């Protein structure tokens, strides 16, 4: 074992790890796999929404709403129980048994190509209660090749994930937009290399603290549909400045980054045998996960960024937090569509603002359409979203939730029936 490394060893390792190029064969494999839906077999860090798991997930992105965090609070609400933030469905998954998909229909692997979650669309149909276990089936909905300012050639994939509970009831459908880019090209272009490091005075932090102090959970005070006015502002929510601690807390709250996974000791060694391309030597010559771009600024620089940056999923959770703080206990988020426009780097603050764009009565629900904008301390728009929320009505009563489309529910039952058949065969075999 040596105590020192050659000066250029880290740079050489990073250069080697960023040399991969997008393979046309992966794109063709993706095109062949379009519309092929299969059971999601992986075990997420969490699969069942226990009361503690719900609380910890909410805390993981800074949400202290008692509806999610206090099991004793929920029974007094219209839900009759603690419930999970609806977006928690993204991180819950138990293995679903299903028929194997032929190798030629499994899509591309994009080995050594960097992936960014650039946004998503949620459609929700029911809440997640303590004790619910979620399963899913998924597939590739679209694939498109584009030129990007950040990294030149890129591939944009939209993945569709159907989430259902242990009764085969559909909880929601999640479409994730993921951009695949060549790390070397991103570094060479250096689009974001001139972004300055932030530096805050005590007055800056005091101003940020004032925003935090003014934030309010609507909670048990109903927000009635009749009282909402188009053009009404939602107020301001702050998140940041982003630190490595934020990444640790988000993972501790339940974000497991499966199927890659964060492992330690012998489990990390086993994971490295399984997916060696996911591990890249750090400055000490230690193989470490590629996703450390979210806390290791030197590795982030190697792929074209000035500092480590957040997860797209974390910003989706922040937007959801902003919506649920505003809407109150008795409301339900029907749809959330978000677009991640720019990176959120370590040290950056994000300010969320929003407004009511309109209101309508549709399918027995009293709906409001919302828009959300996210800007950093430099004034850059880093994310945007639109959402639809079902609100309670003074005249009609409780907020209604959407009916699950019949064909979608049939698909869920069919997948769950096959899961049961295969489980039974395994038990007899």
Task: Give residue 411's pLDDT.
Answer: 97
C-alpha dihedral, 248 to 254 to 258 to 260, nearest 10°:
20
User: Rounded to an integer, what distance in angstroms lies between the CA atom of residue 167 and that of residue 11?
Assistant: 52
For the segment 193-207, the average pLDDT, to the nearest whole number, is: 94
CB proximity list for 383: less than 8 A, separation 6 or greater: 315, 319, 338, 339, 340, 341, 342, 350, 372, 373, 374
For the segment 97-115, the average pLDDT, to the nearest whole number, is: 92
Say yes or no to pLDDT of 108 above 90.
Answer: yes
CB 238 within 8 A of CB 349: yes
Question: How many other C-beta atoms are found inside a 10 Å radius of the C-beta of residue 156?
Answer: 15
Residue 1 lies in a domain: no
For the segment 148-163, the average pLDDT, to the nearest whole number, is: 88
Residue 353 lies in a domain: yes
Residue, of 277 and 421, whose pLDDT is higher: 421
Give, in degrees to the nearest 5, the angle at Cα 419 between 417 and 423: 120
Residue, of 107 and 16, whose pLDDT is higher: 107
Question: Per residue in 14-58, pLDDT tens?
Answer: 777 777 899 999 999 999 999 999 999 999 999 999 999 999 999
Task: Give residue 43's pLDDT.
Answer: 93
Residue (of 236, 257, 241, 262) closest to 312 by Cα position: 257
User: Rounded to an integer, what distance in angstroms lies between the CA atom of residue 280 and that of residue 286?
Assistant: 8
Domain count, the chain: 1
Share of the chain above pLDDT 90, in %: 84
For the segment 124-133, the average pLDDT, to the nearest whole number, is: 98
For the segment 284-309, the average pLDDT, to the nearest whole number, is: 93
For the segment 226-254, the average pLDDT, to the nearest whole number, is: 98
Neighbouring-strand partners of residue 158: 142, 177
Task: Give residue 195's pLDDT.
Answer: 92
Residue 2 lies in a domain: no
Task: Give residue 85's pLDDT.
Answer: 98
Residue burial 179-190, b: 16+ Cβ < 10 Å; e: rest: bbbbbbbbbebe
Tokens describing residue 342: 């720019």
Residue burial 53-79, b: 16+ Cβ < 10 Å; e: rest: bbbbbbbbbbbebbbbbebebbeebee
Residue 3 lies in a domain: no
Give how far the C-alpha of residue 40 lies from the chain's centroid of Cα atoms, to the nearest Å.
17
Residue 338 lies in a domain: yes
- Name the strands in the sheet holding 114-124, side by side, starting at the edge strand that comes first in the sequence: 38-39, 135-148, 152-164, 170-181, 114-124, 332-340, 381-390, 365-376, 350-362, 233-239
Question: Per residue in 349-373, pLDDT tens?
Answer: 999 999 999 999 999 999 999 999 9
CB 346 within 8 A of CB 309: yes
Place 6 in a pLDDT band, splitting at 50, 70 and 90: low
Tokens describing residue 247: 């990444």
Residue, of 191 and 73, whose pLDDT is higher: 73
Tokens describing residue 144: 């498109």
Task: Give residue 427's pLDDT.
Answer: 86
Place 334 in a pLDDT band, splitting at 50, 70 and 90: very high
Say yes or no to pLDDT of 1 above 60.
Answer: no
Place 166 in a pLDDT band, splitting at 50, 70 and 90: very high
User: Rounded to an integer, what distance in angstroms lies between the CA atom of residue 351 and that of residue 132?
Assistant: 33
Task: Give residue 194's pLDDT.
Answer: 85
Task: Give residue 112's pLDDT.
Answer: 83
Residue 273 lies in a domain: yes
Domain harbouring 345, CATH code: 3.10.129.10
Please tell me the least confidently modeled range out of 202-211, 274-283, 314-323, 405-414: 274-283
Please tell me the least confidently modeled range out of 182-196, 268-282, 338-352, 379-393: 182-196
Place 151 in a pLDDT band, splitting at 50, 70 and 90: low
Task: Give residue 13's pLDDT.
Answer: 72
Domain membership of residue 39 as a residue range: 9-428
Positive or negative torsion for Cα 24, 27, 31, 33: positive
Place 238 in a pLDDT band, splitting at 50, 70 and 90: very high
Question: Per residue in 386-415, pLDDT tens?
Answer: 999 999 999 999 999 999 999 999 999 999
Residue 4 lies in a domain: no
User: Which pTM does this prediction carry?
Assistant: 0.94
CB 126 within 8 A of CB 174: no
Residue 322 lies in a domain: yes
């Amino acid at each position: 074992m040596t105590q020192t490394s050659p000066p250029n060893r880290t740079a050489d390792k990073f250069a080697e790890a960023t040399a991969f190029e997008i393979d046309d064969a992966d794109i063709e494999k993706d095109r062949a796999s379009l519309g092929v839906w299969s059971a999601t077999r992986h075990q997420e860090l969490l699969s069942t929404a226990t009361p503690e798991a719900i609380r910890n997930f909410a805390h993981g992105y800074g949400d202290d709403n008692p509806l999610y965090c206090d099991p004793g609070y929920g029974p007094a609400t219209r839900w009759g129980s603690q419930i999970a933030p609806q977006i928690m469905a993204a991180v819950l998954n138990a293995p679903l048994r299903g028929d194997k998909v032929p190798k030629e229909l499994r899509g591309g692997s994009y080995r050594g190509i960097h992936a960014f979650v650039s946004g998503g669309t949620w459609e929700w149909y029911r809440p997640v209660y303590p004790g619910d276990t979620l399963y899913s089936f998924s597939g590739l909905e679209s694939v498109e090749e584009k030129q990007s300012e950040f990294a030149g050639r890129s591939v944009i994939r939209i993945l569709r994930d159907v989430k259902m509970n242990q009764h085969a009831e559909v909880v929601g459908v999640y479409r994730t937009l993921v951009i695949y880019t060549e790390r070397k090209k991103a570094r060479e272009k250096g689009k974001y290399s001139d972004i300055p490091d932030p530096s805050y005075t005590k007055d800056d932090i005091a101003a940020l603290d004032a925003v935090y102090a003014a934030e309010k959970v609507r909670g048990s005070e109903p927000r009635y549909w009749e009282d909402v006015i188009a053009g009404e502002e939602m107020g301001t929510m702050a998140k940041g400045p982003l630190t490595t601690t934020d990444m640790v807390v988000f993972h501790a709250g339940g974000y497991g980054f499966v199927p890659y996974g964060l492992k330690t000791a012998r489990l990390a060694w086993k994971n490295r045998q399984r997916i060696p391309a996911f591990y890249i030597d750090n400055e000490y010559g230690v193989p470490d996960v590629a996703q450390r771009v979210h806390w290791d600024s030197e590795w982030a620089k190697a792929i074209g960024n000035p500092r480590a940056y957040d997860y797209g999923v974390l910003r989706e959770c922040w937007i959801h937090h902003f919506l649920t703080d505003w809407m109150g206990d008795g409301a339900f988020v029907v749809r959330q569509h978000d677009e991640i426009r720019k990176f959120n780097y370590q040290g950056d603050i994000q300010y969320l603002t929003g407004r009511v764009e309109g209101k309508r009565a549709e399918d027995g629900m009293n709906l409001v359409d919302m828009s959300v904008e996210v800007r950093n301390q430099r004034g850059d728009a880093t994310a945007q979203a639109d959402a639809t929320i079902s609100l309670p009505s003074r005249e009609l009563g409780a907020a209604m939730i959407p009916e699950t489309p019949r064909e979608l529910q049939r698909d869920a039952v069919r997948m769950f029936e096959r899961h049961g058949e295969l489980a039974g065969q395994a038990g007899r075999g």
